Structure 1
Amino acid sequence: MREIIFDTETTGFDPVSGDRLVEIGCIELVNRVPTGRTFHAYYNPQRTMPSAAEAIHGLSDIFLKDKPLFSAGVQELLAFLEDSHLVAHNARFDFGFLNHELKLCGLGEISIDRMIDTVAIARQLHPGAKHSLDALCTRYGIDRSHRIKHGALLDAELLAQLYIELTGGRQIGLGLAQEVEKDIIRVELAAEIAVRPVRPARVFQASAEELVRHAAFIATLEKPLWLEGA
């Protein structure tokens, strides 16, 4: 079972309003074990970097100006992702930016069916707790002392450790990958069900006319089975 843990850095929060992806970092897992294969790239967003975003990840206009466009390296990225499930923290954010960049390149979007969101998993496992990457690393004893600023590859490395812990920790090495996969599916389904609207139960009751018609039909039956031996 191959999975890709990934994280992105961007110029802001909304690709529809013009924000762009500027960094992506990916970690390959096979049966929830890191293989050592990674993918990492910076991209020129073709727009200025807002100071608020730069304060988070430290990527400046000067640093990014000589980096390639996303379109120039998209095939290399897709070759690394293959058709694997993609794991991210608050995954809809990262998927939104990744699919927006693919759309700008005239390419098809990555199906949401491939998405695994570690925030959704954490909410099911620890309801009411803090679910930020920092808070969950602290909960599971994952060292993040070297995380001075956000960075896509660094955050993907931390998330890979966290994902392994959220899905069974070292038990994966004992051959329980398939059972943990079932648990992930259950958690993802539970997260979806939790946000579905509650609808009132339907009342199914025959009308008086229907009851009369039913009785008339029963009267036409010869030797019904339920009367045998009566």
Structure 2
Amino acid sequence: MEQQQDKRLVILDTETTGMPVSEGHRIIEIGCVEVIGRRLTGRHFHVYLQPDRESDEDAINVHGITDAFLVGKPRFGDVAEEFFEFIQGATLVIHNAAFDVGFINNEFALLGQHDRADLAQHCTILDTLLLARARHPGQRNSLDALCKRYDIDNSGRDLHGALLDSELLADVYLAMTRGQNSLTMDVAVEASSGGELGDAGPLGEIVVVAASLDELAAHEEVLAGLDKNVKGSCLWRNYSPAGVTAE
């Protein structure tokens, strides 16, 4: 299996004029950040787009991007090549991937670039919403809820924004997968899955981190104190790992 630290991840988010895409709604913002070796590299892709249509009022209330602000911004066709080069071959980490992938596929299709209009043919799609639902069944798994659960500061998120949300999602994803060394999991799904979990795959192997010498010494000190209290060998010594000492 490919090791997670060897994978190039692109954490991606979009904002749109509304929904659904089938009613002619368009992307107005794309934000991506790159993660390699479980670290943000500092490389990112971010752009606001002129959609050639008005945004729904409900959508503006969510992201705060007005039609007037988008006047003069590039169109998707102006940035399509640069965007595709940034994401090609990467594992795309997206919260509610079916939504964003559907809009991106549509934008490429509108350009007549049908070879690119199925991102799952060019990238691995990993849906963090499915991952969160599998790990926290029956709980709220919005980005805000996950930030709170994993103690990630999202105090600057008064409105949705593609770049800010991708940065927050990167922190959430790394927190959710801490200690996991494989991306071969049940949430690496094709966009065509429509959000269904599909056949469950194996989770990553458990990584066992050995205690340091200082930690072993501190552990031995605690056990010695317990020995003194019981005037003998304390019960916990029966469960000490065989062959592990503080020497």
TM-score range, shorter chain: 0.7 to 0.9
Question: CA separation in 2, counterparts of 1:153 and 1:94?
Answer: 14
Aligned to 2:19, what secondary structure does the other structure show? Answer: coil
Residues 1:140 and 2:150 aligned together: yes
Per the normalisation by structure 2, the TM-score is 0.71
Question: CA separation in 1, counterparts of 2:36 and 2:135?
Answer: 23
Tell me the residue number matched to 2:124: 114
Does structure 2 retain, via aligned residues, the 8 Å contact 1:22–1:42? yes
Task: State the percentage of identical aligned residues.
Answer: 44
Residues 1:28 and 2:30 aligned together: no
Tell me the residue number matched to 1:10: 16
Aligned to 1:23, what secondary structure does the other structure show? Answer: strand
Structure 1 residue 60, shift from structure 2 partner: 0.6
Deviations for 1:43-74, whole angstroms, at most 9, x for unmatched residues?
Answer: 00100121111111111111001101111111
Question: CA separation in 2, counterparts of 1:24 and 1:37?
Answer: 14
Question: CA separation in 1, counterparts of 2:158 and 2:127?
Answer: 24
The number of aligned residues is 184
Question: Which residue of 117, 124, 138 corresponds with 2:134?
Answer: 124
Question: Which residue of 82, 97, 102 corresponds with 2:103?
Answer: 97
Aligned to 2:42, what secondary structure does the other structure show? Answer: strand
Does structure 1 retain, via aligned residues, the 8 Å contact 2:186–2:199? no
Which runs of no fewer than 5 residues in structure 1 stay unpaired? 195-230
Higher helix share: 1
Structure 1 residue 187, shift from structure 2 partner: 4.9
Aligned to 1:163, what secondary structure does the other structure show? Answer: helix
Aligned to 1:100, what secondary structure does the other structure show? Answer: helix
Does structure 2 retain, via aligned residues, the 8 Å contact 1:124–1:191? no
Deviations for 1:77-115, whole angstroms, at most 9, x for unmatched residues?
Answer: 111112111110000000000110011111122116621
Question: CA separation in 1, counterparts of 2:71 and 2:21?
Answer: 19
Aligned pairs for 1:173-192 within 5 A: 179-182=181-184, 185-188=185-188, 191-192=197-198
Aligned to 2:89, what secondary structure does the other structure show? Answer: coil
Structure 1 residue 181, shift from structure 2 partner: 2.3
Query: Which amino acid in structure 1 is aligned with residue 146 of structure 2?
Result: L
Per the normalisation by structure 1, the TM-score is 0.76
Which runs of no fewer than 5 residues in structure 2 stay unpaired? 1-6, 190-195, 201-247
Aligned to 1:111, what secondary structure does the other structure show? Answer: helix
Aligned to 1:180, what secondary structure does the other structure show? Answer: coil
Aligned pairs for 1:1-230 within 5 A: 1-107=7-113, 108-109=116-117, 110-111=119-120, 114-168=124-178, 171=179, 179-182=181-184, 185-188=185-188, 191-193=197-199
Query: Which amino acid in structure 1 is aligned with residue 40 of structure 2?
Result: P
Question: CA separation in 2, counterparts of 1:129 and 1:188?
Answer: 21
